[in-house]
């Protein structure tokens, strides 16, 4: 959070900001502070008691940067002796620009000046000039932030599409800005600076194409820029599509800017941008400055610049928990929201979705302004010419061929691995869903997107996996599993024998049909577990759907008595895993949950977590699973990168950590009244499942 102002400075190694001091009265003279609820809330949490009236000499006056209304507050502060505080959006703001109405995820709160005003020192400039910026934990966080920004293609306005291609490599990137922007006039530049920039970009690189990047607000029609296609020279093109800046930087030989924040982001991407103004990131040895700032002269590393600009200086906000937060929480928020926007922005047609799921699927996949269209046939699914979603178990050759003929992408949808408090068969909506454009995680006969993510994460350094390590700790501390139901385990005396937990499965489940080997029934599973562990205390955990009488796979009582030492009916799986010495399974997700808790796992099929060197595998593992990820790498792929989570409180896409908080506090997506009634009806007809499982 902010390094200045009424809030205490943060611990550089901490994941959360320090608590704010006692609130300080802050008077404002701009209606925006009244109408923008998010800005008011962040300022309040940061210790500013916003008021209207006449301040005293011990009070603050808050103004928005150098906006047209700022002089009102400046005049009052000068007349009363009150302290002047300038506020601006932080450097990772939101999905869309503020003029679309989207609130910010953070603010810059500055008592000395404001970061874009080069005529006066600001809190940020002072921080960059005087802070040691040598704390190892702080710099590690900065390096991790740079990696996450690149991986997730994050930028100030993160509604960019990484699938859009930039021009052929070797161009010079010239960054446009909106006319009249305060960062231009207060950054020592003018409109002429943009013409000068374009001239030197051509002169310095006479053989290169010039790509002029339009500002998002210009592309959206909110404010004019300095360049238009008609005025550009022959070898220059205008780029006004939402191409990811990360990809633009990757292909650029050089970056030219006046004062745009994209120059800062270019530094993060490894460039040394040429500046024609005096932006906050100039003068620290990381830029080629044609108008060098006079006060600055310290040489910083990229990590030091990021530590100051993204960790120490801003005040970040968590919209899910309504609290101030650390940079890492904002990165997780933007990662979740940007991923959903990028996937859903063009809309989808959905097929093979059961009627009771449609409302939730609409909330999960149709919230970006383009509602889902539900279709009944392959022909109807491809007719709107949108990407097609199918419930994974409903995919068939007719649908694949229809999508192929129409040149439309087809992706499979399934519940995620952290689902809910209660069963899908009881019509409990899920907190998480997966969308797989390659296959589906439970089908080892073809590659899935999850497999690729696991292999990718296997190559990451340990620093990149610290979030997954914290997630493992949280799951263990909270005892959360996929369904989060059941009573604590009460096992009989085992007489010192090792406990082997055998989770039952639904025998007609797709994970068995696709991923099982020679062992395909629960009775065969128990017999194999007994053969592999003849002296162990075998605990059999029936699948919750089978316990509820909703799916097939029950074992006759005589066989259970012969093969299992104890049957754990209605028991919380987490409490069983706390006692288990090993898990033997075909493809159950409980094997993954066992790995998270450090319990050895033997697999008889090919679940998604098998074949990576983390399990003892006796089933038919695909040869393509050659990577050797750590457990945190597996967890990152399966619980962070692969699923999407829907927050039941805000209705927004959210990070996994928010979903865990909701589950731990008992908050879940509620069933509608009609679904509760239907679930009860299903219970009455459990023995006649053919009546309702259509």
**Residue 516 burial class via C-beta count within 10 angstroms: exposed 0-12, middle 13-18, buried 19 and up:** buried
Radius of gyration for the alpha carbons in the chain, expressed in angstroms and rounded: 28
Q: Which residue has the tokens 């603050």?
A: 60
CATH 2.60.40 fits 153-279, yes or no: no
Q: What are the b/e assignments for 472-491, b being 16+ CB within 10 Å?
A: beebeeebbbbbbbbeebeb
Start-end of CATH 3.40.50 domains in the chain: 153-279, 460-673
The C-alpha atoms of residue 610 and residue 616 are separated, in whole angstroms, by: 8
- Distance CA(444)–CA(440), nearest Å, equals 8
> Which residue bears the tokens 């296997």?
458
Which alpha helices (DSSP H) does 229-322 contain, by range? 245-251, 261-268, 302-306
Residue 441 · residue 515 · CB < 8 Å = no
87 neighbors 63 (Cβ within 8 angstroms): yes
**What are the angstrom distances between the C-alpha of 450 and each of 31, 417, 453, 566?**
48, 12, 5, 35
Residue corresponding to tokens 């990484």:
162
At 455 the pLDDT is 98
The pLDDT of residue 99 is: 86
**What pLDDT sits at residue 17?**
55
pLDDT at residue 678, rounded to an integer: 41
Task: Check: CB of residue 336 under 8 Å from CB of residue 644.
Answer: yes
φ, ψ for residue 525, nearest 5 deg: -60, -45
Which pLDDT belongs to residue 549?
62
pLDDT tens, position by position, 452-505: 999 999 999 998 999 999 999 999 999 888 776 667 878 899 999 999 999 999
CB of 415 closer than 8 Å to CB of 422 = no
Query: What value, to the nearest 5°, has the Cα angle with vertex 221 and ends 218 and 225?
Result: 30
The per-residue pLDDT for range 414-431, each reduced to its tens digit, is 999 998 665 544 457 889
Alpha-carbon distances of 666 from 575, 619, 639, rounded to whole Å: 18, 37, 20
Tell me which CATH code domain 460-673 carries. 3.40.50
Instruction: Report the alpha-carbon distance of residue 43 to residue 7 in Å, rounded.
Output: 10
> How far is residue 627's CA from residue 452's CA, in Å, rounded to a whole number?
10
Spans in the chain with pLDDT lower than 70: 1-21, 420-427, 484-486, 546-553, 668-694
């Amino acid at each position: 959070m902010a390094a200045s102002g009424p809030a205490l400075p943060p611990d550089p190694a901490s994941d959360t900001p320090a608590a704010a001091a006692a609130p300080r009265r802050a008077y404002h003279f701009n209606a925006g502070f009244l109408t923008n609820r998010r800005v008011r809330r962040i300022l309040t949490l940061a210790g500013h008691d916003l008021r209207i009236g006449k301040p005293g000499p011990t009070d603050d006056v808050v103004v928005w940067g150098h906006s047209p209304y700022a002089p009102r507050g400046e005049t009052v502060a000068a007349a009363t002796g009150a302290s002047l505080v300038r506020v601006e959006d932080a450097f990772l703001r939101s999905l869309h620009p503020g003029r679309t109405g989207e609130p910010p995820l953070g603010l810059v709160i500055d008592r000395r000046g404001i970061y874009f005003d080069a005529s006066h020192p600001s809190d940020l400039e002072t921080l960059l000039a005087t802070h040691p910026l040598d704390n190892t934990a702080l710099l590690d966080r900065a390096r991790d932030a740079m990696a996450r920004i690149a991986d997730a293609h994050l930028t100030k306005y993160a509604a960019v599409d990484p699938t859009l291609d930039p021009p052929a490599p070797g161009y010079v990137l010239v960054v446009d800005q909106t006319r009249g922007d305060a960062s231009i006039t207060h950054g020592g530049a003018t409109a002429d600076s943009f013409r000068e920039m374009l001239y030197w970009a051509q002169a310095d690189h006479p053989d290169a194409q010039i790509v002029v990047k339009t500002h998002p607000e210009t592309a959206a029609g909110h404010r004019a820029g300095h360049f238009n296609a008609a005025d550009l020279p022959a070898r220059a093109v205008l780029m006004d599509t939402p191409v990811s800046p990360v990809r633009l930087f990757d292909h650029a030989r050089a970056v030219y800017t006046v004062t745009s924040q994209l120059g800062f982001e270019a530094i993060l991407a490894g460039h040394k941008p040429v500046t024609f103004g005096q932006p906050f990131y100039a003068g620290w040895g990381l830029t080629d400055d044609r108008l060098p700032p006079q006060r600055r002269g310290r040489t910083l590393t990229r990590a030091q610049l990021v530590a100051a600009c993204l960790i120490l200086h801003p005040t970040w906000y968590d919209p899910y928990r309504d609290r101030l937060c650390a940079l890492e929480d904002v990165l997780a928020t933007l990662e979740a929201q940007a991923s959903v926007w990028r996937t859903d922005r063009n809309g989808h047609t959905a097929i093979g979705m059961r009627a009771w799921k449609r409302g939730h699927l609409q909330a999960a996949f149709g919230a970006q302004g383009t509602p889902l269209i539900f279709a009944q046939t392959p022909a109807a699914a491809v007719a709107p010419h949108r990407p097609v979603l199918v419930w994974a178990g409903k995919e068939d050759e007719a649908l694949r061929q229809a999508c192929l003929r129409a040149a439309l992408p087809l992706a499979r949808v399934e519940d995620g691995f952290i689902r809910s408090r209660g069963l899908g068969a009881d019509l409990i909506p899920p907190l998480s869903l997966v969308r797989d454009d390659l296959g589906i995680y439970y089908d080892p006969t073809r590659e899935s997107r999850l497999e690729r993510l696991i292999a990718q994460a296997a190559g990451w350094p340990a620093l990149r996996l610290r979030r997954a390590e914290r997630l493992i700790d949280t799951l263990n501390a909270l005892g959360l599993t996929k369904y989060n139901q059941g009573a604590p385990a009460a096992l009989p005396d085992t007489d010192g024998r090792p406990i082997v937990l055998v989770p039952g499965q639904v025998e007609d489940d797709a994970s068995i049909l696709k991923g099982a080997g020679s062992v395909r029934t629960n009775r065969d599973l128990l017999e194999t577990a007994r053969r592999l562990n003849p002296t162990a205390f075998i605990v059999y955990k029936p699948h919750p759907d089978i316990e509820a009488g909703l799916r097939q796979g029950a074992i006759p009582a005589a066989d259970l008595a012969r093969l299992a030492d104890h049957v754990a009916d209605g028991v919380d799986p987490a409490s069983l895993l706390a006692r288990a010495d090993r898990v033997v399974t075909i493809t159950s997700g409980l094997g993954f949950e066992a790995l998270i808790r450090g319990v050895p796992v033997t697999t008889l099929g090919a679940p998604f977590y098998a074949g990576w060197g983390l399990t003892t595998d006796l089933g038919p593992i695909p040869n393509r699973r050659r990577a050797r990820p750590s457990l945190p790498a597996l967890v990152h792929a399966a619980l962070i990168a692969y699923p999407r989570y829907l927050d039941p409180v805000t209705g927004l896409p959210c990070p996994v950590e928010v979903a865990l908080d909701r589950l731990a506090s008992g908050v879940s997506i509620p069933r509608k009244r009609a679904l509760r009634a239907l679930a009860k009806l299903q219970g009455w007809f459990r023995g006649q499942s053919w009546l309702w499982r259509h």
